[in-house]
Amino acid sequence: MRNITKISTQLGKSALGWKTKKSSLGVTKNWILGSLAARLPGDTKIWFYKKMGIKIGKHVQIMPDVRMEIFFPELIKIGDNVVVGQEAFFACHEFNVNEFRYGPIDVGNNVLIGARTFILPGVKIGNNAIIAANTTVYQDVPNNVIAFGSPLKFKKFKKK
């Protein structure tokens, strides 16, 4: 079960649900910082992501065009020794017809997140996990597994 908070909204107004928790100015600031970070080379981007409030461990590599949450970036925690593949997307929010939802994303240590992976709110990715490219992570990922496919599947492996 994902760790998410739900805010009921009027029918067709869920895209405005974040306004009950965040200011437009703060979200705009995060959008600017995140847009810059996505295009910057090397470790420079880490500084911008941290300025958004994202908690980032040591020896983290974030590839080009990664998109981080702009409404609730402070809910993202990335452990040590993590590689985030190109065009991955971390979304701590989602919209339904009459509901706005948000929740944390917690990435453990020694994790590889493949290119174009989409991580939904309220999930935890365990230590030593590998997320295959183009995977949608909509539930917790245990330690020491490869996560792949749709629907999401796990394959255990032994760390060498």
* 18 DSSP assignment: G
Annotated active-site residue in 18, 62, 93, 104: 93
Tell me how far CA of residue 140 lies from CA of 41, 61, 90, 94, in angstroms: 30, 22, 14, 17
Q: Which of 113, 138, 126 is closest to 60 using CA atoms?
A: 113
Based on the residue annotation, tell me whether 59 is a catalytic residue of this protein. Answer: no
Q: Which active-site residues does the annotation give?
A: 93
